[in-house]
Structures are given as C-alpha cells and as structure tokens.
Amino acid sequence: MLKESTGLRYFTFFYLYIMQGVPSGFAFYAIANYLAGRGVTSQAVGSFVAIVGIPWILQFIWGPIIDRYQYSVIGHRKQWVVLTQLVAFIASLSLLLVNDPARQLGLMAAVFFTHSIFASVQDASVDAIAISIVPDAERGRVNAFMRGGYLMGIAIGSAGLSTVLHHFNFRYAAIGQSGLLLFMTVLTFFIKLDSTDRLVPEFGKAARPQHSADEDNPDLKWLFKELYKGISEKVNLKIFLIIALVYTCNSIFIRSFSYYTIHNLHWADNEVSVLQGGWGILATIIVTVAGGIIADRIGPAKLQVSVMLIIGGFLLVFCGLGFLWTHKLFTATGLVVWNFADPLFSVAAMPILMALCRAKVEGSQFTAYMALVNFCDVIGSYVSGWALHLAGAPYLGFGCGIIITLAMLYTIYNRRTKVIPVNLAHS
C-alpha cells in the first residue's frame, strides 16, 4: 500500500511521472525540433509549444476542485488520476488524425492541447496525493524520483519517439505514445493508497463510508480563500518569484538554443532531440536522485543557492563562448550538460514549495505553484520565439545567466538578513 511502503511510493511516483514526461518530450522536443527542421518559423514553433502548455497553467483551478471532491472508496484522489489517465489516452489516439505535422500544425496543436487538459488534471491529482502522504523527511528523495521519472519520460518522448518519427512516420510515433499511456493507466488501476481502499467501487449500503464525506470534502469557497492566503503571503511570494524567475530563464535559453542549433547551425532535428532526451539520461537520473538525498540532508534551501550558482555560471561561460558553438563537440557537450540543470533545480525547489503550503489546502497550493511554474515555461517558449529575431541565442543565454546570478545573490542577502527564513525551506 502506498501509505505504508516507502519503496512502493518511490516506484509509483517514478512511473507516474514517466507517464507525464512522454507526451511532454514528444511535443516540446521531438515535434518542436521536427518543425524547426522542416522550415517552420521560430514564432510558429514557439506558439505551438505555448498552446500545448496553456492547460498546464490552469492547474490552479483543478487543485481546489480535486481537494473539494477528494474522497473516494478506491483511494483519496485516485479516482481523478485513473479517470484523467484514461481520457488522456483517448486524446493521444486522436493524434492519428494528423498525417503531416508541418502542414497540419493547427490540428496537431488542438489535439495536443486537448491531451494537455486531462494530463494537467492527472498531474495535479498526483501532486496532491504526494504532498498528503509523503513524510517530510522523504520529500527531497520523492521529488528526485518524480523528476527522474519525468526525465525518463522526456527521454522516451524526445529521443525515442523522435527516432520512430524519422525512421517510420508520425502515425507510428503516436501509436507508440498511446500504447505506453494505456499500459501505465492499467498499472495505476491496481495501485492502492491504503489497505482499506477498493479496486472497484461498490454500491448500496455496504459501499457507504464509515465517516461523513463532508469531513473529507471541504467547502470550495473556503479552499479558494485559504489558497489565496497561502500564495499571497509576502514571504511566500518572494520565495516563489525567485524560483519562477529561474524557470523562465531556463526555458528561454533551452528553447532558443535548440532552435538556433537546428536553424542557424544546421543540425538535424532528430540529433538535437536525441541529445536532449537520450545521451546521459541514466547519469542525469542518478545525479537527480543524489540531489534529492542531499536536499533531505542539508536542506533544499542550501541546495537551491548552489544550483543557481552552477546554472548561472554555466550560462555565462557557455554563452560567453558562443563563438565556439560552430564546433560541434563543444555545443553537443553543452547541450548534454544542460540536461542536469532543470532536474537539479527542481529537486531543490519542489520541497521548498511544499514547505510553503498551508494545512488542509496543501494539494491546491502546491498545484497552483506547479501551474505557475508551467506558465514560466510557456512564457519562456513564447518569448524565445520572438526574441531570436532581436538577438542570437548566445546573447539570450548570457542575459539569462546574469539574471539567475543576480537572483542567487538576492536570495543569499535575504536569507542572511532573515527577510526569507532559511528554516521555512527545510521543514
């Protein structure tokens, strides 16, 4: 049972995030790079990524609804996970309507948008379950397994499905994604959160819960009120805005860098997808899990500052040497090394955001934070598409490095002056 077994928790959240990562890797990397390789403009590619990402911004709506109707005899919030996984699988099958992604960009964006709606509800449900059952002492490691699973899914969707797309066609890639989603949906059905949970709901008197459903399902108005209090608190806002700034800069750099290597350096789009999601994925997962262990031992606040220093320094050096990007080995190495940036920062940031959440609305508040983080990725993708017409990717990346470095110094200053309490991020 998920509540009673540490190993099962690690496994379950790992594969659930693989399930979330596969479509993201396919859409945000394999398809985006494929479109760039087919001569689609940077604005169109950026708009496609933004459209697919829009439903993930709406997670702040799903969180309170999921918390309001969280009770289920098959497991608290599990009904949301299973149902949305099933509908997301059906939406994935709709990709079979697309024959030529470059010429049917509108239809493909609409299908991915529909899939993202249900996938985002699934993600919100999984996050709510995680924050409600994972002990404080395990949060760093569990978040590491979540991020590791997401990376594995990204690798499958980006490198794996991109290879299928190029060696066969889009239809086979869509079938491959849908098959994986169906398999994991069936697996979720058989996972129990508690020993008293049922696999299949029963009806009649025997199915009635022993306690009132109102005790588990709080008022929706109260949920939104508490959610607003939690997010609008001054200290919480400062902590989150720093995290959001880093995510936005990360998105601007990697989107512009990917497009630049394909459009300006004339790399094959499949080659870029494989580097982003294939090479070094095992090492990245190992480093991510190690980061989770470190976060639990030294505290995510200290880890966050260290990772910001590394990311900011990397961007300043790598983009400052932009004239060397014409050397393939140098650029490929930078692309592989960058694979460590986002997961390591997430391992530090996620436990911090969990610690900011108010009692009884933890799921809603954490989901709202995730929606805003996803919004940062969407904004970064959209901005990079237009900014590339004003400046080259090396300049954009160097600017992001400056911003992240300044944010790191601001974080250190605030913690030393106790404007942001360090122990808040290590609960």
The residues, ordered by sequence, that sit 6+ positions from 414 with a Cβ below 8 Å of its Cβ are 238, 420
> Stretch 72-86: mean pLDDT, rounded?
76
Percentage with pLDDT > 70 across the chain: 87
Q: What pLDDT is attached to residue 73?
A: 59
Of the listed ranges 236-245, 257-266, 346-355, 418-427, the least confidently predicted one is 418-427
Q: What's the number of CA atoms in the CB half-sphere (13 Å) around residue 249?
A: 28
Extents of the domains making up the chain: 6-199+224-425
Residue 215 pLDDT class (50, 70, 90 cuts): very low
Higher pLDDT, 329 or 355: 329
Q: Which CATH number fits domain 6-199+224-425: 3.40.1280.10, 1.10.1060.10, 1.10.10.10, 1.20.1250.20?
A: 1.20.1250.20
Q: What pLDDT is attached to residue 74?
A: 57
196 φ, ψ to 5°?
-85, -5
Q: What pLDDT is attached to residue 180?
A: 92
Q: What pLDDT is attached to residue 279?
A: 56
The model's pTM is 0.72
Cβ–Cβ under 8 Å, residues 129 and 78 = yes
Alpha helices in 156-280 (DSSP H): 161-167, 170-189, 220-232, 234-263, 269-277
Residue 188 pLDDT class (50, 70, 90 cuts): confident
Q: Choose from 39-43, 102-106, 202-206 the range with maximum mean pLDDT.
A: 102-106
Q: What pLDDT is attached to residue 417?
A: 73
Mean pLDDT of the residues in the chain: 82
Higher pLDDT, 318 or 198: 318
Percentage with pLDDT > 90 across the chain: 26
